[in-house]
Amino acid sequence: MAAVMAHKGHTVVGVDVNPEYVAAINDGRPPVEEPGLAQMISVNRVRLSATPDYEMAVLNTDATFIMVPTPSSEDGRFSMRLVLAAAERIGAALKQKDHWHLVVLSSTVMPGSTGGVLAPALEAYSGKKCGQDFGLCYNPEFIALGTVINDMLRPDMILIGESDPRSGKTLELLYTGVCENNPRINRMNYVNAELTKLSVNTFVTTKISYANMLAEVCETLPGADVDVVTQAIGCDTRIGRKYLRGAMGYGGPCFPRDNVAFSALARANGVPALLAEATDKVNRRQAPRLAEMIRSHVAADQVAGVLGLSYKPHTGVVEESQGLQLAQALLSAGIRVVVYDPAAMDNAKAKLGGNAIFASSASECVRQADAFAITTSWPEFARISPGDLKRTDGSVLVLDCWRMLDRAAFAPVCDYRVIGEGVDSAAERGSAVSALASHTR
């Protein structure tokens, strides 16, 4: 956000308690990995700086965005501990300001938190009145690691929960000058905005789990192909194609915990959380299901491979990664495991320790494996060739979860499988897809 705002001409002061992050920004370097971020920071250094000093930052700016973590508690709810710690420092700075200032909370929180917890804290620490002496908005982002910059510049929508019309309008005008498209700007009260944020992610995870459940059903029906089915049902505008693909489960720092938090919210208010709980249950089934496919194939002295440890391509984040969970499940079953990921090896080593074999490339990983699964759709995995296989006598199991490999090249030399196909569907796949294409035309 700091880089994007600076890129659009705003003077931005970043605040962080981590001195290494502050130093990186001031040196013109990104403190985290994200495509395009290094160049954007470097080009806009004149407008972008960082400091550990809350007071200096608040006194010299017009708006403050709070983007601290909100860790999940044992019951699944989000903790406001770090938000309130930031609010104390922000409020103390606001106390010294003689003009109006806008505070924006972007962290994901439980419904009722902005107005019920944050606003009173800011008022107490500043001695000022929210909606009068300062403004407060809840403004979560809808971004995905690997495409953050594009998601910020070209969002589907902007969501604003406002303390008062002035605050909402000020934030709306800010985004109007930042966004390169013309997104729908939804302004509402705090609780509706907080609930909208949780609802979006819960609905998306439901689509993912539905597609994965459908894939498992297809595997039991000769001739069935989840790709053919999802392509067709996705044409219905009531459903849509996005996130409707039978493959691996969802992971990362947002989807899993947001779904659990929604369940906790419903239960706390006496509402059955059946759909959210089922979505989570289906998702937690995916890695063990894949592990059982591999476990039933490899002998005691053989090696299983996992290609993809980040939860999605173009990021090194392994939080709730399906590939990492698969590797852990196989290791727990006493199977030797070789792994590879283009960006997540260091993060994965912290989770797997010395239990796994860490290959230096995708081809090296494949050469050591008697069975392997492609669990993250990194583009480079599509370049694996049959010549990389440990053997080409048909005995190596290849689970192409994202359908990245050339079936015609691999099927003759290995036990090639994809998620979501019935046993006899390979021969019928071409005619089924052709029929769909003909009908669509």
Known catalytic residues? 254
Kindly compute the dihedral angle of the four CA atoms of residues 26, 54, 6, 133, in this order, to the nearest 10 degrees: -170
Give me the amino acid identity at 364.
E
**376: CB partners within 8 A, 6+ apart:** 248, 307, 308, 309, 310, 311, 312, 313, 321, 322, 323, 341, 402
